[in-house]
Structures are given as structure tokens and as C-alpha cells.
Chains A and B, each alone.
Chain A
């Protein structure tokens, strides 16, 4: 859950009604098993493939 009340589902950001707002532009992000977001908007994706992906807002 983000500070502005949106939900990350894998690499897809959604409103509370499930409508997609946008997605992270990298391969494999939609299948992430876990997501965390910082107050400054950095996004971390946990991948069962054995990696962590970090995305920073530009």
C-alpha cells in the first residue's frame, strides 16, 4: 500500500478498485511474489527466481 492509497500488485500499480494506474517497465515485474515501497517512492520487487529488483522514480 502506498502513502496515496494505491496497491502494488507485482510491478503493476492499481487504485483500490483494482484499476491499473501504471506499471514498471522491466521484464518479469508482473510476476513478482513480494513488493515493498518506500516513502520516497522506491519500489522493491521480490522474485522467486532469486533476485530483488529496485526501481527508483525519475
Chain B
């Protein structure tokens, strides 16, 4: 399934997550596939490589770069699954600082072998201890309109809100505690911000729901469950909110993306996702 179906953001994004060349072709509405135009963007070398002890440039040792975000100061946060998991660079590529050691869990999200699959359960879990790895919980970094930094630790089942200086000011979920309640997650994947300040969380690998919170972290509502029916998700992996407050999740269909931010009821009318879980 290397192509995206017309009107289905879900399939397109799922294919991306699965590493398929989803951007290569796009079927015209009801017709044959047509190529997508190249954008007038130029790839540049970035960031500036570090200098080795020999005084010469050396490559960065990023371990799985999972996310990137632009701060309110105009710097760029790079989130990777290794030592110093959060690295902040100027836009010219020079390193500003690094931080985050010990913040993320050492669990590793992993696919469940097919012979253990059941129709109603997630195909993902997490391994911890020796089977895990340092900072492998690092899944997403976002910056809200007020300049706060949000970090999603998927296998840690927790989302941190930090101020622009990196000090924790709030957290959603309970670190190391999985669940599907109003204050627990099961391998969450992303967080997004509505124009009115409310928060949305995709939860995620273990659950299959979107949860809405007030700006101060009070649970408001949720929708979605695992499946392929109306209002159901395969793997809600990322999340964006547009200027009108409509929520789009990569595994949701475009109908689901039009769900109201005010109530959950309209979200149940979303067309069924036709995708299956992807990786990473």
C-alpha cells in the first residue's frame, strides 16, 4: 500500500509511519495516480558537526531521532533516543545546550509477534530492563504557543510540560503506571494544543484514543477505541489542531479529523479508519 487514497489522511500517514513511499504517488479523485510536485526547498547540511579531540569535524551520534520542534526563541529542539536526549540548536546549526538525561524511561516500544495478536488488543507493548534502552521513551517534543516545551515518554506513560528553561511545570499521566483512566496513559504518542489552550493527547500504542484536557491538565473528554469501525483507531500516532480547533490524527480519517473539539459525540461519526498499526 504505497499510495494514499483520496480523502483519507489516515492511509497516507500510516504508510509514512510504516516506511512506505506514501509521498510518491497520489491517486486523483476517482482516477489514476498522479505524481506529487516537488517543492522548491533545498536540503542543507544541518546541524554543524561537533569537533573531535583531533580538532576535525565528527558526525553527531544521534540515536533514533524521533522528533524535532522549534522553540519560541527560534532555536530547534532535537529529540533522540540516546545520551543527552534533548539537544537545542540555533537555526544556523550550532549547539546551544543539551539536557534530559534521566528524564525518559528505559522502556522500548516493541511490536507483538503476530501469533499473539488478538482482534481487540494492541499489537504493541513495551519491554523494560535489560531489553529496553536508555532514553528510548523519547517519542515526541512539541512547543505550545506560550513557549512551553512538551515531551512525550511513550513507554513511561507520561507527558511532561516544561517551561522554556526546561523546568517541569506540569505532567500528564503517572510515570511508570499504564492505564486508560483520565490520569493514566498506555504508551502515549503525541500532544497538541487547541487555539483556546486545551490539550489533546494521542494514546497511543497501547490504547487507541484521543484524550482532551483543559490548559491546566484537567480531564475533559476522550474518544476512540481500537478497531476499524466508526470512531475507532488503528494507531493514533501524531496529532495536530488547526486554527478552527479541528483535530487531525494520523490514523484518523479526514472525517475524524473534522471532529469537534467541544464534544466527543460528533467524533463518533467519523468514518472508519482502514489502516492497521504501524511501527515506531
Instruction: List chain A positions with a Cβ less than 8 A from chain B.
Output: 1, 5, 7, 9-14, 16-26, 29-38, 41-58
Contact = CB atoms under 8 A, between A and B. Distances in A.
Given A52-B46, A54-B46, A9 B13 contact: yes
B202 interface: no
B44 A56 contact: yes
B229 interface: no
B38 A25 contact: yes
Interface in B1-29: 4, 6-9, 12-13, 16-17, 19-24, 26
B79 interface: yes
Contacts of A44: 46, 68, 70, 76
B241 A58 contact: no
Interface string B26-63: 10000000001111111111110000000000000111
Given A34-B66, A35-B68, A52-B62, A23 B39 contact: yes
Given A30-B22, A36-B76, A46 B68 contact: yes
B240 interface: yes
A20 B252 CA distance: 17
B250 interface: yes
A57 B41 contact: yes
A46 B80 CA distance: 9
B257 interface: yes
29 contacts: A9-B9, A9-B23, A9-B250, A10-B22, A12-B16, A17-B7, A17-B9, A17-B254, A18-B12, A21-B36, A21-B39, A22-B36, A24-B38, A25-B39, A30-B23, A33-B67, A34-B65, A34-B140, A34-B141, A42-B91, A45-B68, A46-B66, A46-B78, A49-B65, A50-B63, A52-B46, A55-B41, A55-B42, A55-B44
Contact of B66 (A20, A33, A51): A33
A12 B12 contact: yes
A14 B65 contact: no
4 residue pairs, one from A and one from B, having the closest CB atoms: A18-B9, A34-B67, A54-B46, A12-B23
